[in-house]
Structure 1
Amino acid sequence: MLFFLTSLAAIFIILPVLFYALVFYSTKYWSKNNRKAKSVAINITTFILIFSVHYLILTIWSKSLLWMIILFILLTAIVFTFVYWKTKEEIHYRKVFQGFWRLNFLLFSAIYICLLIYGAASRAVEAIMFG
């Protein structure tokens, strides 16, 4: 059972799009609400994307930069809150957190795709040069 769970976690970390689809369709099936399903899928998949970026960095450069990822998330929260405060002149914590979390989804999706392309290209170059 433990092997199955760790394998499933590894698959979702390698392919967060698969996790997004699974959460989206299961939430849509239960709630019959497309908008709610998308929101729940984005909120949950953001955690998986953060871990996916961490493990891609670990695989590519063989070092853990989790502290930098956490620092990046905190700085994003600070900047997002400041910009929200400047534009709205008051802070609604729920909206700020929701916007910040969705911004993290977009940022970590882009970082994940860039790291995936970089990792594949660097391994291909290594294989050609040293293979």
Structure 2
Amino acid sequence: MIVFITSLAAIFIILPVLLYALVYYIMKQWTKNHRKAKGAAINLTTFVLILSVHYLILTIWSKSLLWVIILFILFTAIVFTFIYWKVKEEVNYAKVFKGFWRLNFLLFSAIYISLLIYGAASRAVEAIIFG
């Protein structure tokens, strides 16, 4: 059972879009609400995207930059909260966290795709040059 769970986790870390699709489908069937299904899928996939970016960096450059990722997330939270406060002049923490988490989904999706392309291209170049 442990092997199955770790294998499933590895698949979702390698391809977080599968997790998004699975969570969206399950929540859509359960709640019959597109908006809630999309929100649940984004919320869960964001955490997995962060892990995916970490493991892609680890695979490409053979070093853990988890501390940089955590600092990036904290910096994003600070900037997002500051901008929200400047615009609304009051901080609603639930809305700030929801917006910050959704922003992280977009940012880490873009970083994930960029790292996938960079990693594939760099491995292809290495294979051509050293192959």
Q: Please indicate the TM-score interval, normalised by the length of the shorter structure.
A: over 0.9
SS at match of 1:98: helix
Shift of 1:55: 0.2
Shift of 1:4: 1.1
2:19 corresponds in structure 1 to 19
RMSD: 0.4
Shift of 1:105: 0.2
2:105 matches 1:105: yes
Deviations 1:28-59 (A, max 9, x none): 00000011000010011000000000000000
SS at match of 2:90: coil
- Superposed, 1:38-77 pairs within 5 Å as 38-77=38-77
SS at match of 1:64: coil
Which whole-Å CA distance do the structure 1 matches of 2:26 and 2:6 have between them? 21
TM-score normalized by the length of structure 1: 0.99
Shift of 1:8: 0.6
Shift of 1:3: 1.3
Which whole-Å CA distance do the structure 1 matches of 2:31 and 2:66 have between them? 35
2:115 matches 1:115: yes
Shift of 1:6: 1.0
TM-score normalized by the length of structure 2: 0.99
Which whole-Å CA distance do the structure 2 matches of 1:32 and 1:71 have between them? 37
Unaligned runs of 5+ in 2: none
Which whole-Å CA distance do the structure 2 matches of 1:92 and 1:113 have between them? 32
Shift of 1:124: 0.1
Identity %: 81
